[in-house]
Structure 1
Amino acid sequence: MKALTIKKVEFFMTGDSNAHRPRWAKYLNDIFTTNTICRITTEDDYVGIGGTITYAEERFDPSMMETGILYVPGLIGKSALDREAIWTWMAQRPTLVPLPAMSMIDIALWDLVGKYAKLPIYQLLGASRDQIYSYASTPLFDTNKEYIEYIETCIAEGFTAIKIHPYTIYEEDVILVDEIQELFAGKIKFMLDPDAQYSREEAYKMCKKLEKYDWVWFEAPIPDRDLEGYHYLTQHSHVPISCGGNTLTSLMDINNGIKAGAWTDVRADVTVSGGFTPMKKIVALAQANNMRCEIQSWGATLTQAANLHMMLACNNCTYFEQAFPYEPFEIGAKTVIRTDKEGYVHAPDGYGLGIEMDWDEIERITLKKYDSSTY
């Protein structure tokens, strides 16, 4: 029998009804965060894990677990060593929203191989470094005063950059950006992410302001699919621009955006774009076009870890996205990823993802569970 032959697949749909529900835009109601975890056990008793996050208003989202279950019959008996073949097989299945569900499975397969090879995933991919600067990624606040207090806290924590999720109302965001610039120019770097809520005209005006203020980048100013609008912005501004990374997620989508001249930077996520298997190609595609691939990592610890390993395996990503405050994103994890006083995050210790889960806590917050061995 081939090593790492899959004998069991489990899914845990988790959500904490008592958890804080951070939003990232004013138009959203309270967000229910569902962390769906895939756990794969092999015939030789290796265990690999992967996860993906989904967000919804009013209730938890079962879609990733239900989609993941559709792949299980074809996974049993395959070897985690054959990740490219497995990924291609999953991509050929007639599921409606495949990539995030494929992501958690693919990540679990890479975790298995890392443990089998006794290597962390970033070294398995080809390590470029073992630490990277992080930026604090804000939740939505109700007032400018709260943003200012948050920035002051981040500076005290050691962060060297902060990405602002503003109100997503242009007139209010302009006032916020001006106040932040006046108070903190030269003290810390900033990025802006209005969650694709601006018109082309508003995005252009904000571009010119951020260009003047020398902010690091402008993320998701307009809807991701407005490639023509993005192209106009990149041609008429010097501030780096990327899409949001949640709509155009496949290798082909990103290739089309690059060919359209839509962005200066690529933005993608291991847990959304299909896992490590396609993500390493997305990173290489960006590099082939002399572009940064600024990988997002907002989410639970498993989401953070997968994206951190990808960042550490490449040299065209400059920052780790650190959801801060930390605690709401660490539920169910014994291993956590936090920024040090010099502004860096470091590779987790251990093989594979290097993340140890608190399975008793996971069971406590599990809303629905699937175990292939019981079917």
Structure 2
Amino acid sequence: MVKAPIVTSVEVNEIEFEIRDVTTEPIIGIPIYEKGSSIRRKAHVLRVNTDAGITGEYFGGNAVEYAAIPGLARLLIGKNALDRELFYNDAKQALRQQASMGRSQIDIALWDVAGKLLGVPVHQLLGTYRKELPCYASTYISDFDPDGLSSSEAMADFAEQCFELGYPAFKIHPWMGQPLNKQIEMVAAVGKRMAGKMDLMLDPVCTYETFGDAVKVGKVCDEWGYYWYEDPFRDSGVSAFAHKKLREIINTPILQTEHIRGLEQHVDFVLSGGTDFVRGDPDYDGGITGLMKLAHATEGLGLDLEVHVAGPDRRQTMAAMRNSNFYEMGLLHPKHPGMKPPIYQDGYVDNLTAIDAQGKVSVPDGPGLGVPLDWDYINAHTTDHAMYS
């Protein structure tokens, strides 16, 4: 019998790195392509150390989530690192007034501990369903650089490029704050070029100002047979009633719940009729423990759970799900290699050319999350470090 690994400390490294040829989008603040510009970004690496000499590691999450780590560490020190369900529920109660920020990253690191302890990948602990995942190409936010995704034609060209690379599906992230007719033109241009060749999705990142705008764009999605329509307008994706009404008016399936946090709220949203596809994210929804609860709840309702963005933890969880269609490869741009630092070893990447000829990626089979972190890179770029013991 394996001796229980006891948590001895929790560590956080803050790293800083440069991203070239991007600038900051002025409304929502994420990077967009702009040749010749550059920005500096911060990111975090979490470690949960145990007396068994095994360390659970996770790269991901944001500064707001990491602000909760000092308080959560006290729930872990001296406890069995395998008691993930207990931590999930204790942290859920402790963070009931803080939107559950911080528990997700610790939970993911605890799954890494368990896999490393037993010498198996997380997907095997969860129960493997598959080891290859079909991908969709998920674009950068549309930009204003003449050499970038600055026109409907450029977006259609990129969709065609992704199709030729083997991607079976393509998702548009359009401009923020631009006229509706310009937005509609892009949806139609990509539809005209690629409908019937690949599945098309649209994620306006809640940019359309009114419900009426969302309806107008949704009807264009209907015309070109879009696979799903995600987070269209400025309710910020949280009104089940509004999206139920939208579902009654347009034919294109709706994908919601990226901005709904946790199991119960997701289920309430679905039962209220607010979505067709369900969105889940291990960083937002309670880690791997929370995401798998959501996957099973969604499966019980006969629906599909689509996992948000890319990473080793996402691949591990999707490998244990039947009811999920695509791995979100992104964010992608025809002229930019990506915004993520080279944090992983063993050649692991999530970029435009990471797929095979069938448009799939494999699930890492190493212990835990499956891919070791590059600590030479992390240490060289660390700007702050904290240990809680």
Same fold by TM-score, threshold 0.5 exceeded?
yes
In the other structure, the counterpart of 1:262 is: 274
Q: Distance in 1 between matches of 2:6 and 2:20?
A: 37
Alignment of 1:25-44 (within 5 A): 27-29=27-29, 31=31, 33-44=41-52
Q: Relative to structure 1, is the Cα distance of residues 41 and 19 closer, same or farther in structure 2, using a 3 angstrom cutoff?
A: farther
1:187 CA drift (Å): 2.7
In the other structure, the counterpart of 1:217 is: 228
In the other structure, the counterpart of 1:12 is: 13
Are 1:251 and 2:259 matched, yes or no? no
**Residue 2 of structure 1 contacts residue 79 of structure 1 at CA under 8 Å; is this kept in 2?**
no
1:262 CA drift (Å): 0.3
Alignment of 1:295-310 (within 5 A): 295-298=307-310, 304-310=311-317
Q: Which range moved further: 202-211 or 285-294?
A: 202-211
In the other structure, the counterpart of 1:230 is: 243
Paired residue secondary structure (1:233): helix
Q: Which range moved further: 107-116 or 152-161?
A: 152-161
**Residue 128 of structure 1 contacts residue 315 of structure 1 at CA under 8 Å; is this kept in 2?**
yes
Unaligned runs of 5+ in 2: 32-39, 145-149
Q: Distance in 2 between matches of 1:21 and 1:364?
A: 23
Q: Distance in 1 between matches of 2:107 and 2:363?
A: 20
Q: Distance in 1 between matches of 2:59 and 2:101?
A: 9
Q: Relative to structure 1, is the Cα distance of residues 273 and 12 closer, same or farther in structure 2, using a 3 angstrom cutoff?
A: same
Paired residue secondary structure (2:128): coil
Q: TM-score, normalised by structure 2?
A: 0.86
1:367 CA drift (Å): 2.8
Q: Distance in 1 between matches of 2:198 and 2:3?
A: 52
Q: Relative to structure 1, is the Cα distance of residues 368 and 98 closer, same or farther in structure 2, using a 3 angstrom cutoff?
A: farther
Q: Distance in 2 between matches of 1:172 and 1:316?
A: 35
1:215 aligned partner, one-letter code: Y
1:29 CA drift (Å): 4.1
In the other structure, the counterpart of 2:216 is: 205
In the other structure, the counterpart of 2:104 is: 103
Alignment of 1:135-174 (within 5 A): 135-141=136-142, 142=144, 143-144=150-151, 145-168=153-176, 169=178, 170-174=180-184
Alignment of 1:9-88 (within 5 A): 9-19=10-20, 21=22, 27-29=27-29, 31=31, 33-54=41-62, 62-88=63-89
1:20 CA drift (Å): 5.4
Alignment of 1:276-315 (within 5 A): 276-298=288-310, 304-315=311-322
**Residue 36 of structure 1 contacts residue 64 of structure 1 at CA under 8 Å; is this kept in 2?**
no
Paired residue secondary structure (1:294): strand
Q: Which range moved further: 153-162 or 338-347?
A: 153-162
**Residue 297 of structure 1 contacts residue 308 of structure 1 at CA under 8 Å; is this kept in 2?**
no
Give the structure with the larger strand fraction. 2
**Residue 257 of structure 2 contacts residue 278 of structure 2 at CA under 8 Å; is this kept in 1?**
no
Provide the aligned length of Structure 1 versus Structure 2.
359
Q: Distance in 2 between matches of 1:202 and 1:26?
A: 21
In the other structure, the counterpart of 2:187 is: 177
Q: Distance in 2 between matches of 1:180 and 1:269?
A: 27
1:351 CA drift (Å): 1.3
Q: Distance in 2 between matches of 1:101 and 1:197?
A: 27
Q: Relative to structure 1, is the Cα distance of residues 132 and 100 closer, same or farther in structure 2, using a 3 angstrom cutoff?
A: farther
Q: Distance in 1 between matches of 2:126 and 2:84?
A: 13
Q: Distance in 2 between matches of 1:114 and 1:220?
A: 35
Give the structure with the larger helix fraction. 1
1:236 CA drift (Å): 2.4
1:14 CA drift (Å): 2.4
2:371 aligned partner, one-letter code: I
Q: Relative to structure 1, is the Cα distance of residues 36 and 21 closer, same or farther in structure 2, using a 3 angstrom cutoff?
A: farther
Q: Residue by residue, what CA displacement relative to the aligned partner does 1:276-302 show, whole Å, maximum 9, x if unpaired?
A: 11111111111111111111125xxxx
Are 1:371 and 2:387 matched, yes or no? yes
Q: Which range moved further: 149-158 or 222-231?
A: 149-158
Paired residue secondary structure (2:299): helix
**Residue 4 of structure 1 contacts residue 81 of structure 1 at CA under 8 Å; is this kept in 2?**
yes
1:195 CA drift (Å): 0.7
Q: Distance in 2 between matches of 1:161 and 1:99?
A: 33
**Residue 220 of structure 1 contacts residue 243 of structure 1 at CA under 8 Å; is this kept in 2?**
yes
Unaligned runs of 5+ in 1: 55-61, 299-303
1:94 CA drift (Å): 4.6
Paired residue secondary structure (2:344): coil
Aligned residues with identical type, % of pairs:
26
1:370 aligned partner, one-letter code: A
RMSD, matched Cα: 2.2
**Residue 271 of structure 1 contacts residue 307 of structure 1 at CA under 8 Å; is this kept in 2?**
no
2:55 aligned partner, one-letter code: V
Q: Distance in 2 between matches of 1:368 and 1:21?
A: 25
Q: Distance in 2 between matches of 1:187 and 1:203?
A: 25
Q: Residue by residue, what CA displacement relative to the aligned partner does 1:322-363 show, whole Å, maximum 9, x if unpaired?
A: 012554224222233422221001101311101111112112
Q: Relative to structure 1, is the Cα distance of residues 67 and 308 closer, same or farther in structure 2, using a 3 angstrom cutoff?
A: same
Q: Relative to structure 1, is the Cα distance of residues 66 and 184 closer, same or farther in structure 2, using a 3 angstrom cutoff?
A: same
Q: Distance in 1 between matches of 2:42 and 2:240?
A: 30
Q: Residue by residue, what CA displacement relative to the aligned partner does 1:50-107 show, whole Å, maximum 9, x if unpaired?
A: 23333xxxxxxx3332211221122111112111011111122257535341111000
